[in-house]
């Protein structure tokens, strides 16, 4: 046994030695990234050496350097927020030589194929992924001037929110605040509450967000537990080389209800304000970005008021040899009224007087640290540790005793190119979740999950992905489960401008502590524990094609079939007034999703204009196969149209969001239900580094309640001012 251990140790040392020494016979790529028209440098532009695990970013003067590149012929991809990404083919690197490049990037209102990390746990172009994804880019985030993450995501194709619950192609329905069938990642790190599995959509200010990626369908092979129906990865901005003070402020007023019968207060007093400040700078190898924000609202309903505070910090340090350390901390505090349901359809903005004392507090700290160690251009290790502390307290008229839920995670990941054409990603993830309150006692559970994936570049235009993950879930002093999550994917680009993709992936989600153990009586209902809940699992089948009609117009179509087993749903026993989470459903969601992005300059009315249109349609058939009826809280059709028109420094935008009527609900099936039809419009004007924005959300005063007895906001007038100093 001792001999075996010594051999393994020597093999690792020898392997590391070879990997490091391989770097001695290398070349360098340098260059400058600039705006194609103005020739101004583009600091922060991302440079990716395709087929390797190497990447860097441009400095304040637009220059970049990539050292220790083994000799060979490479493809270089350069991308930047607000610019069309560029691929430079046939970059020939020779030993001890330097390749110099000048890279002009063209400005665009729509980023067609941004760089994503969610598809393969390493950077790649969207059109090279084998899975269906949506990306909300920084350009779109800035254009929409959102007040929270929900507003960032709600116009993305295939996404629909029911309350605070995100549905990706109908994945989640509504789970009453316990359990989430979608995994939320912050820079690739899970950030769900350890006891409820819920997300805090206010955990960080929109000002900090660089990009949001959405993986549609199961993704447990690489991302582990909870990636049952999709994954959302929020990527935060990195510290930039220039010292920058950025601010974003917005204020808004809620209009009076459309129907005068619904008036309940002086509408002039209903408003919100949000202010965020951020400072980032680099000091040599050390970079920092700190942000603070506050978001106050009276709400548009009784008990709709809230006060939210954010404090975030991101720090990095670049050591010699490309080693990079990153640390991130996000703290948020929320004090809000707790609107459970309306008083009645003729008083939708009011609650029953007996509920007026209901309030809730959320206090969350998310911390992660990462260390990226590139041993060579063919082998790198990424280590990360994370900590999420969530303290949620709901106060139904009287004080409640909640204790913080603690989630701790560790992950070691290696990216290895054993020989050209193969990128192997392997590692192990460990997650430890603990929660305790008087309502469910003290409970802890952990996952340990080794994973392995190989992306094989069969030919220059064909990529084949295979992966497998094994997870052991162990509830301390309780049940244990063994879960396997395989994955297969194919991306084929037969000719320029066309890419086909196909994937089969699996996902799982173990029941949360709350779903298993919560015992509570609320509003005449008793929530009953069910410690024997099994993990729910899914298989996602997806085929798609992405076609460029012209350079500025693409169409993406995908067909999907998501199969679910042991779906955990709240079972309402309305005879005894009990709710219990049970494995009750074998379900299927099949459908088609089509998106198109189009931009073109046009000369109209004597003006140069840049219109852009992004449209999506998702048509689904979802079914509870046990009862042969639609799944609850899921529309069958989703559509979005986002139009923008740039005229010089001015920009006009209109968004239309549609969701068909939800056919099945659980609590009040006799309540009126209608489709969702929202129109938001905005106009912005940029003067130097300052942008002023005026907007109206829900322009036509549409009254929609995706969750029974909870009306969405009425027409809201917004004013935003943001900029950099």
Partner 1 sequence: MIFRKTILILFAAWLFTAACDFNHGISPLPGKLKVRVIYRGEAPANTQGIYLVVAPVFPPHAINELYHSPNGLPFLQDTIFTEMDLPYGHYDSYALWWYSNDTKSNLADILAMPLDASNSLLPASFDVTAQKPVVEKTLYANLNRLNRPSAIKGTIYFNGPFPPNTLATAIAAFKLKPEEGIHFLLYLRAIDFSIEENPYHYNLPIQAGGVNFIAVFWLAERAALTDFKTVGVYLDPTNPTQPGRLNLKDGETVEGVDIYADWSVVAGK
Give least dist CB 25 to partner 1, A. Answer: 53
574: contact with partner 1 by CB under 8 A: yes
Sheet strand arrangement including 189-190: 133-136, 209-216, 230-236, 183-186, 189-190
- DSSP assignment of 576-604 equals TTEEEEEEEEEEEEEEEEEEEEEE--EEE
Give least dist CB 555 to partner 1, A. Answer: 14
Give 552 or 563: the residue with its C-beta nearer to partner 1: 552
Binding mask 633-672 for partner 1 (x = CB under 8 A): ----------x----------x-x---------xxxxx-x
Give least dist CB 711 to partner 1, A. Answer: 7
- Report the residue from 95, 346, 608, 649 that binds partner 1 according to the rule CB under 8 A: 346
345: contact with partner 1 by CB under 8 A: yes
354: contact with partner 1 by CB under 8 A: yes
627: contact with partner 1 by CB under 8 A: yes
Rounded CA-CA distance 150/165 in Å is 9
- Report the residue from 210, 343, 586, 623 that binds partner 1 according to the rule CB under 8 A: 343
258: contact with partner 1 by CB under 8 A: yes
Pairing of strands 536-550, 553-573: antiparallel
702: contact with partner 1 by CB under 8 A: yes
Rounded CA-CA distance 327/638 in Å is 38
Give least dist CB 88 to partner 1, A. Answer: 30
Rounded CA-CA distance 233/214 in Å is 6
- Report the residue from 21, 38, 521, 649 that binds partner 1 according to the rule CB under 8 A: 521
The answer to whether 411 and 383 have CB atoms below 8 angstroms apart is: yes
598: contact with partner 1 by CB under 8 A: yes
Give least dist CB 176 to partner 1, A. Answer: 14
576: contact with partner 1 by CB under 8 A: yes
Give 44 or 714: the residue with its C-beta nearer to partner 1: 714
Residues in Cβ contact with 519 at an 8 Å cutoff, skipping those fewer than 6 apart: 439, 440, 526, 527, 528, 529
The answer to whether 458 and 464 have CB atoms below 8 angstroms apart is: yes
Nearest to 227 by CA among 235, 237, 217: 217
Rounded CA-CA distance 303/648 in Å is 43
Give 13 or 356: the residue with its C-beta nearer to partner 1: 356
Give least dist CB 347 to partner 1, A. Answer: 8
Rounded CA-CA distance 415/55 in Å is 13
**HEC per residue, 2-39:** HHHHHHHHHHHHHHHHHHHHHHHCCEEEEEEEEECCCC
The answer to whether 53 and 423 have CB atoms below 8 angstroms apart is: yes
Give least dist CB 265 to partner 1, A. Answer: 17
Tell me the number of residues near partner 1 by CB under 8 A: 52
- Report the residue from 174, 262, 447, 633 that binds partner 1 according to the rule CB under 8 A: 262
Rounded CA-CA distance 388/366 in Å is 4
DSSP code for 355: G
> Do you know the residue count of the chain?
725
Give 426 or 656: the residue with its C-beta nearer to partner 1: 656
348: contact with partner 1 by CB under 8 A: yes
- Alpha carbon 474 to chain centroid distance? 27
Phi, psi of 173 (to 5 degrees): 65, -135
Give least dist CB 577 to partner 1, A. Answer: 5
Mark the segment that binds partner 1 (CB under 8 A) among 137-145, 157-165, 253-261, 280-288.
253-261
Give least dist CB 675 to partner 1, A. Answer: 8
Looking from the CA of 379 toward its CB, the CA atoms found within 13 Å total: 13
- Report the residue from 21, 484, 700, 725 that binds partner 1 according to the rule CB under 8 A: 700
Distances, alpha carbon 581 to alpha carbons 218, 405, 517, in Å: 22, 20, 10
- Report the residue from 432, 525, 565, 685 that binds partner 1 according to the rule CB under 8 A: 525
Pairing of strands 578-599, 525-528: parallel
711: contact with partner 1 by CB under 8 A: yes
- The SS3 call for residue 422 is strand
Give 61 or 672: the residue with its C-beta nearer to partner 1: 672
- Report the residue from 275, 572, 594, 719 that binds partner 1 according to the rule CB under 8 A: 572
**HEC per residue, 440-492:** CEEEEEEEEEEEEEEEEEEECCEEEEEEEEEEEEEECCCCEEEEEEEEEEEEE
Give 67 or 352: the residue with its C-beta nearer to partner 1: 352
Q: What is the largest CA-CA distance in the chain?
A: 84
- Report the residue from 9, 17, 25, 259 that binds partner 1 according to the rule CB under 8 A: 259
Give least dist CB 524 to partner 1, A. Answer: 6
Give least dist CB 146 to partner 1, A. Answer: 22
Q: Which helix (H) or strand (E) holds 150?
A: helix 149-153
261: contact with partner 1 by CB under 8 A: yes
- Report the residue from 35, 318, 677, 683 that binds partner 1 according to the rule CB under 8 A: 677
Give least dist CB 709 to partner 1, A. Answer: 9
User: Can you give the binding site for partner 1, defined by CB under 8 A?
Assistant: 258-259, 261-262, 343-348, 352-354, 521, 524-526, 572-577, 598, 600, 602-604, 611, 613, 627, 643, 654, 656, 666-670, 672, 674-675, 677, 679, 699-705, 711
């Amino acid at each position: 046994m001792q001999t075996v251990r010594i051999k393994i140790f020597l093999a690792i040392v020898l392997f590391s030695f070879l990997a490091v020494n391989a770097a001695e016979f290398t070349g360098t790529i340098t260059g400058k990234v600039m705006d194609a028209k103005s020739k101004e440098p583009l600091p922060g532009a991302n440079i990716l050496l395709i087929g390797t695990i190497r990447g860097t970013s441009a400095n304040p003067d637009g220059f970049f350097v990539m050292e220790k590149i083994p000799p060979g012929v490479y493809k270089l991809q350069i991308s930047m927020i607000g610019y069309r990404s560029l691929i430079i083919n046939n970059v020939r690197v020779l030993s001890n030589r330097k390749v110099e490049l000048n890279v002009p990037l063209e400005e665009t209102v729509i980023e067609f194929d941004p760089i994503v990390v969610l598809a393969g746990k390493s950077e790649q172009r969207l059109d090279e992924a084998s899975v269906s994804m949506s990306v909300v880019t920084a350009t779109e985030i800035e254009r929409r001037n959102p007040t929270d993450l929900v507003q960032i995501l709600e116009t993305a194709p295939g996404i629909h929110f029911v309350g605070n619950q995100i549905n990706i192609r109908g994945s989640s329905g509504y789970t009453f605040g316990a359990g989430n069938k979608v995994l939320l990642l912050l820079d690739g790190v899970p950030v769900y509450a350890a006891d409820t599995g819920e997300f805090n959509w206010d955990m960080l200010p929109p000002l900090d967000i660089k990009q949001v990626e959405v993986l549609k369908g199961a993704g447990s092979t690489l991302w582990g537990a909870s990636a049952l129906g999709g994954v959302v990865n929020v990527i935060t901005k990195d510290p930039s080389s220039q010292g920058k003070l950025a601010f974003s402020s917005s204020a808004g007023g809620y209009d009076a209800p459309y129907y005068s019968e619904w008036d309940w207060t002086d509408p002039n007093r209903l408003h919100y304000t949000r202010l965020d400040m951020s400072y980032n700078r680099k000091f040599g190898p050390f970079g920092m970005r700190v942000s603070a924000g506050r978001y106050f609202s009276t709400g548009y309903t009784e008990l709709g008021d809230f006060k939210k505070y954010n404090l975030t910090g991101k720090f990095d340090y670049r050591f010699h040899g490309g080693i990079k350390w990153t640390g991130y901390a996000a703290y948020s505090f929320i004090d809000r009224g707790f609107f459970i349901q309306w008083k009645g359809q003729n008083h939708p903005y009011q609650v029953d007087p007996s509920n007026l004392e209901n309030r809730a507090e959320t206090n969350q700290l998310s911390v992660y640290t990462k260390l990226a160690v590139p041993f060579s251009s063919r082998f790198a290790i990424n280590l990360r540790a994370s900590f999420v502390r969530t303290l949620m307290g709901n106060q139904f008229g009287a004080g409640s005793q909640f204790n913080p839920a603690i989630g701790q995670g560790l992950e070691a990941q290696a990216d290895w190119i054993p020989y050209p054409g193969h990128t192997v990603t392997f590692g192990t993830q460990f997650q430890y979740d603990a929660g305790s309150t008087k309502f469910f006692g003290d409970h802890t559970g952990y996952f340990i999950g080794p994973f392995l994936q190989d992306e094989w570049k069969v030919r220059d235009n064909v990529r084949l992905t295979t992966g497998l993950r094994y997870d052991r879930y162990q509830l301390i002093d309780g049940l244990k489960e063994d879960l396997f999550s395989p994955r297969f994917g194919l991306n084929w680009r037969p000719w320029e401008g066309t890419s086909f993709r196909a994937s089969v992936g699996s996902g799982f989600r173990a029941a949360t502590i709350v779903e298993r153990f919560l015992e509570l009586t609320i509003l005449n209902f008793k929530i009953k524990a069910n410690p024997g809940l099994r993990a729910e699992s899914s298989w996602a089948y997806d085929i798609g094609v992405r076609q460029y009609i012209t350079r500025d117009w693409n169409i993406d179509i995908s067909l999907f079939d998501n199969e679910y087993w042991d779906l955990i749903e709240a079972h309402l026993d309305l005879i005894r007034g009990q709710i219990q989470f049970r494995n009750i459903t074998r379900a299927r969601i099949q459908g088609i999703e089509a998106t198109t992005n189009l931009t073109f300059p046009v000369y109209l009315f004597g003006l140069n204009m840049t219109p852009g249109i992004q449209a999506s349609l998702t048509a689904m058939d979802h079914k509870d196969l046990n009862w042969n009826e639609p799944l609850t809280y899921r529309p069958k059709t989703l559509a979005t149209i986002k139009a923008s028109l740039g005229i010089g420094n001015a920009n006009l935008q209109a968004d239309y969001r549609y969701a068909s009527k939800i056919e099945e609900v659980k609590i009040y099936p006799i309540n009126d239900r209608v489709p969702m039809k929202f129109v938001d419009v905005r106009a912005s004007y940029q003067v130097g580094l300052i942008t002023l924005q005026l907007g109206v959300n829900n322009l036509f005063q549409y009254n929609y309640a995706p969750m029974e007895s909870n009306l969405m906001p009425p027409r809201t007038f917004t004013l935003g001012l943001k900029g950099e100093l």
